[in-house]
Amino acid sequence: MKVELNKIASVQMGYSFRARLYSMNSGAVAVIQMKDLTDQNRVNCSALVRVDMDKPKEHHLVKSGDLIFRSRGLSTTSAILLDDPGIALVSAPLLRIRVSVNIILPEYLNWFINQPPAQAFLASRAKGTSQKMISKEEIEKLEIFVPPIERQKAIVEMASLAEKEQQLMKMLGEKRYKYISTHLIRLAQGA
């Protein structure tokens, strides 16, 4: 089954602050910014900026399972929020995507948005010359393939294993390079 994103999820613009954010360790509200999105498409909650402000409106708050979409810049990918950040919101220009039906897993949707076909669609809809941007309306038009839940779980698990394999291969390559370099230095020194 293929459906547009707006039929299975809500998309919310990030909160627009009127001034630069200054971190306050004791602030009541955590703020997810672009810097908190990892290369593994996860939200890192360990160093969220905290601000002192009145509790934001409910539609601005994030919760575990939400996707955070990079709507501006070279990378138009999403990251999933797996931890509970407490009272937290997303800052603009990020978008919050929240699954609204039980036929799709947030982890699967996150995986799908970051795949080449979805990225090609988003790239074709980007506006701007020096700074590319995807509007809320354009991402809502993204067509998502929605297989049965069990297949979604299998896809997410296989994608996770493939990512772990890539990380291990990278580590192995780095260790091998260091080993060979050390051995070559010994050869050069006549050992």
Q: Which domains does the chain possess?
A: 2-146 (3.90.220.20)
Residues 122, 125: Cα–Cα separation, whole Å? 5
Q: Locate tokens 């627009």: which residue?
A: 16
End-to-end CA distance of the chain: 65
DSSP SS3 for 15: strand
The larger pLDDT score, comparing residue 68 to residue 20, is at 68
Q: Locate tokens 């575990």: which residue?
A: 64
Q: How many helices (H) and strands (E) does the chain have?
A: 5, 9
- Lowest mean pLDDT, pick from 1-10, 24-33, 34-43, 126-135: 24-33
Share of the chain above pLDDT 90, in %: 76
**Which pairs count as long-range contacts for 54-58, CB under 8 Å and 24+ apart, including other chains?**
55/28, 55/29, 55/87, 56/15, 56/29, 56/87, 56/89
DSSP state of 115: S
Q: Locate tokens 């009272």: which residue?
A: 87
Does the pLDDT of residue 23 top 70, yes or no? Answer: no
Instruction: Report the interhelical angle of 106-113 vs 149-188 (nearest 10°).
Output: 60
DSSP SS3 for 168: helix
**Mean pLDDT in residue range 176-184:** 95
Residues linked to residue 121 through DSSP beta bridges, in sequence order: none
